[in-house]
């Protein structure tokens, strides 16, 4: 893909790029909506993502192109206004440019920019974090700066929170930044502190992308964020991570029933992340699988960020041989289901699940046997 990205850059701009950077998409393994509540989460970087190629321009013009859109978009170097419509994808690199000075880094003035991707977008696999991190690495390199990986991750998150306007936690950017092949990234979001743990050899990931997306997905995500903060206030803590199951039960009367359900999802989910980490260390994939499915049920009934399509896939997968567990991955309200399977699960099983889904909903999901990969890097 590096070669291909450079070729496309040449085709658009008539010269070679000076810098190419890459950042992967991610699977949320377990830890649903725990990150912005200060909890813990496990994720895996995929072996696919976004490549960003850049070359400086002395005339101070900024041009942005993507292999998925038409002609380059020109944006004045002093123009950091958020865009709408067909060019709104430019908000990701623009958000990074706006974030750089906040972290003491210099935003390059003029450049030609091209992004390519082999990651399905809108599937809940964090193509947005991938483009943010690849852009951040490329821009920092242009400015001759190589800050710590934590800083690159925070630049990406800052762009998403403050420019794109999604109040996400650190999961997506953290996993894209710290991913390693055959390992899961464990994040304690309060630091945040990043670590990796080995992924047992017989764990395979299959992703079923429904191509459905709730029209209000960003608004619903923000609403869940608000509900969690209201729950924390009601319980007298600053973030839900400070409340355990006993504290939540004790404070139940102080919370509206819906707010209690949201809080219970988060508190139980943080406990499930801990249990999954232990079971992974023991190589007990059956136990891990049960936790994954329990996480989905909690999304379905308590956090209410699932959909009929996602529930159908989890039901079909968890009654299929060689599947340890399955759950929605990411924010929810559409997107994809991830299944953890043994190596005995193959195309035949995946096709049967996809066919049952098609029978019910009229369209087939995209199926991806996903491999883990390394985190963001300069190439
Ligand atoms: C999205 C957000 C993450 C996280 C997940 C839900 O992917 O970007 O920060 O909150 O949803 O766990």
- Closest ligand 1 atom, CA of 160? 8
- Our answer on whether the CB atom of 171 is closer than 6 Å to any ligand 1 atom is yes
Distance CA 70, CA 89 (A): 12
Q: Is-catalytic flag, 172?
A: yes
Question: pLDDT in tens for each of the 379 residues of the chain?
Answer: 889 999 999 999 999 999 999 999 999 999 999 999 999 999 999 999 999 999 999 998 999 999 887 789 999 988 999 998 889 999 999 999 999 999 999 999 999 999 999 997 777 899 999 999 999 999 999 999 999 999 999 999 999 999 999 889 999 999 999 999 999 999 999 999 999 999 998 899 999 999 887 666 788 999 999 999 999 999 999 999 999 999 999 999 999 999 999 999 999 999 999 999 999 999 999 999 999 999 999 999 999 999 999 999 999 999 999 999 999 999 999 999 999 999 999 999 999 999 999 999 999 999 999 999 999 999 9
Of 169, 214, 268, 296, the residue with max ligand 1 atoms within 8 A of its CB, to mutate for a pocket test, comes to: 169
Half-sphere exposure (Cβ direction) of 164: Cα atoms closer than 13 Å: 26
The bridge status of strand 377-378 relative to strand 323-329 is unpaired
Would you state the structure tokens that stand for residue 55, as one six-digit string?
């070359």
pLDDT of 216 reads: 65
- Closest ligand 1 atom, CA of 41? 12
- For residue 172, the CA-to-ligand 1 centroid distance in Å is 7
Distance CA 334, CA 209 (A): 9
- Our answer on whether the CB atom of 192 is closer than 6 Å to any ligand 1 atom is no
pLDDT of 336 reads: 94
Of the candidates 59, 78, 79, 172, the residue annotated as catalytic is: 172
- Our answer on whether the CB atom of 273 is closer than 6 Å to any ligand 1 atom is no
CA distance readout (Å), 194 to 69, 174, 257, 327: 35, 7, 34, 23
Q: Is 376 helix (H, G, I), strand (E, B) or coil?
A: coil
Helix axes 257-281, 217-235, angle to 10 degrees: 90
- Our answer on whether the CB atom of 32 is closer than 6 Å to any ligand 1 atom is yes
Would you state the structure tokens that stand for residue 325, as one six-digit string?
């567990």
Residue ID of nearest Cα to ligand 1 atom 1: 331
- Our answer on whether the CB atom of 296 is closer than 6 Å to any ligand 1 atom is no
DSSP-derived letter for residue 238 is S
Residue bearing tokens 């959909």: 307
Distance CA 196, CA 182 (A): 10
Cis previous bond, 192, omega within 30: yes
Domains 2-25+44-178 and 204-370 share a fold: no
pLDDT of 123 reads: 77
pLDDT of 289 reads: 98
pTM of the model: 0.94
- Closest ligand 1 atom, CA of 128? 8
Count of other CB atoms within 10 angstroms of residue 155: 29
- For residue 252, the CA-to-ligand 1 centroid distance in Å is 26
Distance CA 288, CA 323 (A): 11
Distance CA 5, CA 67 (A): 9
What backbone phi and psi angles, to 5 degrees, belong to 280?
-65, -40
What is the domain partition of the chain in residue ranges? Answer: 2-25+44-178, 204-370
- Our answer on whether the CB atom of 30 is closer than 6 Å to any ligand 1 atom is no
Distance CA 284, CA 194 (A): 23
The bridge status of strand 334-341 relative to strand 204-213 is antiparallel
Distance CA 213, CA 333 (A): 6
Distance CA 375, CA 174 (A): 9
Of 35, 128, 310, the residue with max ligand 1 atoms within 8 A of its CB, to mutate for a pocket test, comes to: 35
Residue bearing tokens 């430019």: 90
Residue bearing tokens 């067909």: 86
Residue ranges in 143-256 assigned as alpha helix (H)? 149-158, 171-178, 217-235, 245-250
Residue ID of nearest Cα to ligand 1 atom 11: 331
For the chain, strand residue ranges (E) read: 19-30, 40-56, 62-66, 73-75, 111-117, 183-188, 193-198, 204-213, 323-329, 334-341, 366-370, 377-378
Distance CA 104, CA 89 (A): 25
Distance CA 249, CA 153 (A): 35
- For residue 123, the CA-to-ligand 1 centroid distance in Å is 12
Distance CA 192, CA 379 (A): 27
Question: Do residues 86 and 167 make contact, with C-beta atoms less than 8 angstroms apart?
Answer: no
Distance CA 39, CA 187 (A): 8
Question: Do residues 365 and 357 make contact, with C-beta atoms less than 8 angstroms apart?
Answer: yes
- Our answer on whether the CB atom of 123 is closer than 6 Å to any ligand 1 atom is no
- Our answer on whether the CB atom of 300 is closer than 6 Å to any ligand 1 atom is no
- Our answer on whether the CB atom of 33 is closer than 6 Å to any ligand 1 atom is yes
The CATH classification number of 204-370 equals: 3.30.70.890
Count of other CB atoms within 10 angstroms of residue 26: 32
For 2-25+44-178, which CATH class? alpha beta
Distance CA 299, CA 151 (A): 31
């Amino acid at each position: 893909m590096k070669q291909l990205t450079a070729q496309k850059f040449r085709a658009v701009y008539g010269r070679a790029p000076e810098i190419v950077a890459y950042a992967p998409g991610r699977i949320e393994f377990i830890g649903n909506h725990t990150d912005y509540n200060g909890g813990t989460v496990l994720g895996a970087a995929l072996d696919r993502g976004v490549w960003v190629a850049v070359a400086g321009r002395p005339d101070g013009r900024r041009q942005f192109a993507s292999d998925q859109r038409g002609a380059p978009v020109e944006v004045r170097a002093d123009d950091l206004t958020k865009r709408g419509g067909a060019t709104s994808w430019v908000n990701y690199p623009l958000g990074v440019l706006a974030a750089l000075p906040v972290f003491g880094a210099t935003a390059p003035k003029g450049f030609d920019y091209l992004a390519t991707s082999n990651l399905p977008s809108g599937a809940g696999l964090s193509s947005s974090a991938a483009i943010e991190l690849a852009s951040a690495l490329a821009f920092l390199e242009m400015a001759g700066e190589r800050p710590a990986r934590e800083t690159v991750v925070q630049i990406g998150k800052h762009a998403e929170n403050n420019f794109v306007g999604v109040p996400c936690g650190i999961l997506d950017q953290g996993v894209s930044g710290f991913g390693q092949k055959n390992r899961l990234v464990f994040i304690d979001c309060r630091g945040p502190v990043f670590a990796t743990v080995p992924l047992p050899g017989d764990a395979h990931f299959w992703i079923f992308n429904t191509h459905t997306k709730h029209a209000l997905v960003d608004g619903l995500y923000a609403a869940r964020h608000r509900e969690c903060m209201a729950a924390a206030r009601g319980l007298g803590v600053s973030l839900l991570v400070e409340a355990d199951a006993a504290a939540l039960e004790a404070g139940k009367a102080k919370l509206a029933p819906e707010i209690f359900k949201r809080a219970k999802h988060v508190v139980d989910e943080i406990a499930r992340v801990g249990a999954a980490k232990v079971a992974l260390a023991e190589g007990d994939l059956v136990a891990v699988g049960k936790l994954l499915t329990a996480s989905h049920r909690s999304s379905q009934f308590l956090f209410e960020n699932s959909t009929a399509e996602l529930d159908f896939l989890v039901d079909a997968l968890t009654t299929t041989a060689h599947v340890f567990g399955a759950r929605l991955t990411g924010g929810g309200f559409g997107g994809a289901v991830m299944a953890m399977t043994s190596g005995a699960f193959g195309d035949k099983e995946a096709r049967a699940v996809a066919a049952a889904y098609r029978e019910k909903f009229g369209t087939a999901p995209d199926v991806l046997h996903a491999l883990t990969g390394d985190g963001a890097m300069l190439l």
